[in-house]
Amino acid sequence: MTDDKKISADEIALYDRQIRLWGIAAQTRMREANVLLITAGALSNEIAKNIVLAGIGSLTVLDSATVTPPDLGAQFFLEESDVGKNRAEAAVPRIQKLNTRVIVTADTSDITTKDAEYFSKFDIVVATELAASELITINEACRKYSKCFYAGGMSGLYGYIFVDLIEHSFSFERDQSNSATKLGPETSTRSVVDVKLKKGDGKLLKEVVTKKEVYKPLAESLKSDSLSKLRARSQLKVSPVLPAFRALWDFQSTTSRLPSPEDFSTFEELVHNNTRDLGLPVGIITPQFVKSFLSGVGAEISPVAAIIGGAMAQDILNVLGQRQQPIQNWVVYDCDTSTAPIYTL
Amino acid sequence: MTAMESSPTRKVALKRILSRPGPFVDELNPEAYEFLSNMKILVIGAGGLGCEILKNLALSGFTDIHVIDMDTIDISNLNRQFLFRPSDVGKPKALVAAEFVMKRVKGVTITPYYGKIQDKDESYYSQFGIVVCGLDSVEARRWINATLVDMVDAENPESLKPLIDGGTEGFKGQARVILPTLTSCYECSLDMLGTQQTFPICTIANTPRLPEHCIEWALALEWPKRFPDKKIDNDNPDHIQWLFETAIARASEFSIDGVTYSLTQGVAKNIIPAIASTNAIVAASCCSEALKIATSCNPYLNNYMMYSGNDSVYTYTFEHQKKEDCPVCGVVASDFWIEQDWTLGLLMEKLTTTQAVRIKSPSLRTAEKNLYLQSPPQLEEATRPNLSKLVTDLVKTGEEVSVTDPALPFSIKLRIRY
């Protein structure tokens, strides 16, 4: 490793508490990563904070919108004097101050003007608060250049995360158990691809296990019928937040705007349709939930952004570190029930 | 100018959520937002959790926030405590955090206190509507928990202060809601805590296998032997260097790999790994509960949420049960069974290691007499002979023994049985 790639003593002192968790090799990999964050809203503010503090290589924050007073509600990197400025340009200097070792840049372009090649420069692309068609286009561009893709969004007290890492391998160490770990598939997406033994303490050996997860692109995942195969009792427990965000995307694609509480009947029907398309019983959707979801559209709530942003950021760092099981592949967050179930679709 | 007038649309999202119709908000409730901005809320800790909590509360409509922290800023804090900069190293966390957030979020007042929670008394804690904790020690949590439980006066509903407690370690954490005297309290769940990692003395002295054993040997056995009059200072790099060199020499004697300076520091200072994202998630979980409790906009957490990021994302929420015989919030004394051949000294050793009791330097009394007091010195000397006496000679079966410890503002009542 060349000298400038090696981690310095200053960095070790700064990152001490996290190096003790994931080790120097993972920290060195994080430090070389180039990440793109699209749409500088509350969710992006939180993701940016967590990954910049951790010490990634560089971050580009892209947004063509200008700061309005509601942005000050949950975006910690903005101040009153920023109203009227470009959102990315206003936030970037303050994000930069969190860690001067990370190169943080603002891009004020509209994301729809970027061609596929734009995304090839990044290791990880994080698309927040975008409509389905935009997400699918960006996801395809990422796949073309073998880049990792994250999508995330919020609506008041609810949120979602979608992950497409194409193919991702990770390795970890554990004590050998009574039976040795076998090679081969563990689930429909994950398999054990390598097991090495090494000396442990005392009689027990340690295993270094390498697993691989295979992912679907968003367009394909949206057509998944995995949930229809669940038993009836399990289907009743699926979170209504999952079809709600799909309904939000449907509404956006047909009307080119976000729904408001006045659109209740149309929106409720879309939620029901998407529930049925997922193979789930419509009974999991209540009118109160639909009202609650609708009332939050466009509303950014700080703790919700922090939870979803925290989970997304950690998964990004885990992917760069290559030592942890990543999200496979949807997470929905429901602040009413304080739950964050994972669905593999 | 009030917060609302200076930025009328900054809170539009919050107001929408707070006024949405639903089972918890029968009519449109414009007062919920006023109530929120008039409430005094206390944040204990301005570290990994504290920084996140202050940010979230300030952005969630709370305008009168107080924060207590007894620590100063260290370089290793900066990977997650984002209100601090390299130029702040050495300054008090509470003061720097308060200043940063007030500058960033207009209309919010944060009153810091640089000191211990034990410096303040009931009159201080009574002024708050909710207490949110981001502490790093079991002792401190037990103290504030007991203080808030003690404050509850059945005649005065305002004396009940909800305690929202968060904790993190590496990829894991938890958030819980405690309604003192009504729900399970912190003491009720003491037995859920894992044992502190201790190594058997014979392993350390004679048969080490791990690098940690070698470091413990240097720390616990060799240092007191070489420097009987000097107490080890784990913030002193020279002391750590000495431990490191001593440990590595021992390790090579036993052909053990893995002693590093970093590991030596970790063992000596009991360093717990910490990252930003776990703190972000747990702190935000606590703050969303604070928002719900303050405004009744939603059912709040009942009552314990565990988060683990070890294997992707996993959360588990359950209701921890209140203990009838909890020494803090319970109403009955708890039974403590002993063997007939135990001396008082052995009983005390058992108390320090029992999960549900966790007392470091117990003093014991019955209604009739002092069994053993740690202080003052005259009483310690006077009661010391009791340590070698049988418990059965000092206490009748079924008799209540009161156990106190200087770190805890309450006594544990045990009914000794044999």
Q: How many CB pairs under 8 A join A and B?
A: 197
Which residue matches tokens 């007290």? A157
Q: Tell me the nearest-neighbour CA distance from B349 into chain A, angstroms.
A: 30
Mark whether B52 and B187 lie in a shared domain: yes
Instruction: Copy the structure tokens of residue B140.
Output: 């401190």
Count: domains in chain B: 3
Distance CA B218, CA B235 (A): 16
Choose the closest CB to B315 out of A53, A80, A339: A339
Q: What is the CATH number of the domain that holds B206?
A: 1.10.10.520
Q: What is the pLDDT of residue B3?
A: 41
Distance CA B290, CA B14 (A): 14
Residue B202 among the catalytic residues: yes
Q: What is the pLDDT of residue A178?
A: 83
**DSSP secondary structure letter of residue A248:** H
Residue B350, judged by CB atoms within 10 A of its CB (0-12, 13-18, 19+), counts as middle
Distance CA A275, CA A287 (A): 14
**What residue of B is the nearest CA neighbor of A342?**
B313
CB contact under 8 Å between B280 and A55, yes or no, is no
Choose the closest CB to A98 out of B82, B104, B271: B82
Distance CA B147, CA B121 (A): 8
Q: What is the pLDDT of residue B2?
A: 41
Chain A residues touching B12 at Cβ < 8 A = 69-70, 73, 299
Instruction: Report residue B370: phi and psi, to 5°.
Output: -85, 125
Q: Is position B329 within any domain?
A: no
Q: What is the pLDDT of residue B414?
A: 87
β-sheet bridge partners, residue B68 = B44, B113
Mark whether B140 and B103 lie in a shared domain: yes
Q: Tell me the nearest-neighbour CA distance from A114 into chain B, angstroms.
A: 30
Question: Is-contact B254 A201, C-beta < 8 A?
Answer: no
Which residue matches tokens 């760092």? A317
Q: What is the pLDDT of residue B29?
A: 57
CB contact under 8 Å between B298 and A54, yes or no, is no
Q: What is the pLDDT of residue B203?
A: 85
Mark whether B231 and B348 lie in a shared domain: no
A111-132 pLDDT tens trace: 999 999 999 999 999 999 999 9
Top CATH class of A3-166+301-343 equals: alpha beta
Choose the closest CB to A325 out of B6, B20, B312: B312
Does the N-terminal peptide bond of residue B38 adopt cis geometry, omega within 30 degrees of 0?
no
Mark whether B97 and B155 lie in a shared domain: yes
Instruction: Report residue B163: phi and psi, to 5°.
Output: -115, 120
CB contact under 8 Å between B82 and A338, yes or no, is no
B13-52 pLDDT tens trace: 888 888 776 666 655 556 667 778 789 999 999 999 999 9
Three-class SS state of A169:
strand
Q: What is the CATH number of the domain that holds B31?
A: 3.40.50.720
The CA radius of gyration of chain A, in Å to the nearest whole number, is: 21
Q: What is the pLDDT of residue A96?
A: 98
Mark whether B135 and B188 lie in a shared domain: yes
A125-157 pLDDT tens trace: 999 999 999 999 999 999 999 999 999 999 999
Mark whether B169 and B21 lie in a shared domain: yes
CB contact under 8 Å between B309 and A309, yes or no, is no
Instruction: Report residue B311: phi and psi, to 5°.
Output: -130, 80
Question: Is-contact B146 B410, C-beta < 8 A?
Answer: yes
Q: What is the pLDDT of residue B315?
A: 86
Q: Is position B34 within any domain?
A: yes
> What pTM, to 2 d.p., does this model score?
0.89
Q: Tell me the nearest-neighbour CA distance from B126 into chain A, angstroms.
A: 26
Mark whether B171 and B76 lie in a shared domain: yes
Chain A residues touching B303 at Cβ < 8 A = none
CB contact under 8 Å between B76 and A298, yes or no, is no
Chain A residues touching B14 at Cβ < 8 A = 73, 299, 301
Interface test with B, best of A12, A50, A168, A304 (most B CBs within 10 A): A50
Mark whether B252 and B396 lie in a shared domain: no
Q: Is position B1 within any domain?
A: no
Q: Has residue A232 got a pLDDT over 80?
A: yes
Q: Has residue A4 got a pLDDT over 80?
A: no
Please state, in angstroms and as integers, the Cα–Cα distance from residue A79 to each residue in A105, A304, A330, following that order: 19, 20, 33
Q: What is the CATH number of the domain that holds B383?
A: 3.10.290.20
More confident residue, A190 or B5: A190
The proportion of chain A whose per-residue pLDDT surpasses 90, expressed as a percent, equals 90
Sequence-distant contacts of A172-176: CB under 8 A, at least 24 apart? A172/A208, A172/A209, A172/A323, A172/A324, A173/A198, A173/A206, A173/A207, A173/A208, A173/A209, A174/A206, A174/A207, A174/A209, A175/A200, A175/A204, A175/A205, A175/A206, A175/A207, A176/A200, A176/A204, A176/A205, A176/A206, A176/A207
Mark whether B175 and B311 lie in a shared domain: yes
Residue ranges of chain B whose pLDDT lies below 50: 1-6
The candidate with the shortest Cα–Cα distance to B274, out of B43, B48, B46, B44, is: B48
Question: Is-contact B132 B86, C-beta < 8 A?
Answer: no
Distance CA A251, CA A120 (A): 31
β-sheet bridge partners, residue B186 = none
Mark whether B169 and B224 lie in a shared domain: no
Chain A residues touching B289 at Cβ < 8 A = 338
Mark whether B24 and B123 lie in a shared domain: yes
Q: What is the DSSP string of B197-211?
A: ----HHHHHT---SH
A283-302 pLDDT tens trace: 999 999 999 999 999 999 99
Greatest Cα-to-Cα distance within chain B, rounded to the nearest angstrom: 75
Q: Has residue A241 got a pLDDT over 60?
A: yes
Mark whether B45 and B164 lie in a shared domain: yes
Q: Are strands A124-128 and A148-155 parallel, antiparallel or unpaired?
A: parallel
Choose the closest CB to B10 out of A73, A299, A311: A73
Q: What is the pLDDT of residue B359?
A: 82
- Name, in order, each residue with C-beta under 8 angstroms of A25's C-beta and a sequence gap of 6 or more: none
**What residue of A is the nearest CA neighbor of B299?**
A336
Q: Which structural domain, as residue segments, surrounds residue B18?
A: 7-193+273-318
Distance CA B410, CA A109 (A): 62
> Checking phi first, is residue B375 left (phi over 0); if not, alpha (psi -120 to 50) or beta?
beta
The candidate with the shortest Cα–Cα distance to B169, out of B60, B23, B50, B278, is: B278
Chain A residues touching B106 at Cβ < 8 A = 79-80
Choose the closest CB to A295 out of B8, B16, B317: B16
Q: Is position B285 within any domain?
A: yes
Q: Which sequence spans correspond to the domains of chain A?
A: 3-166+301-343, 167-214, 219-295
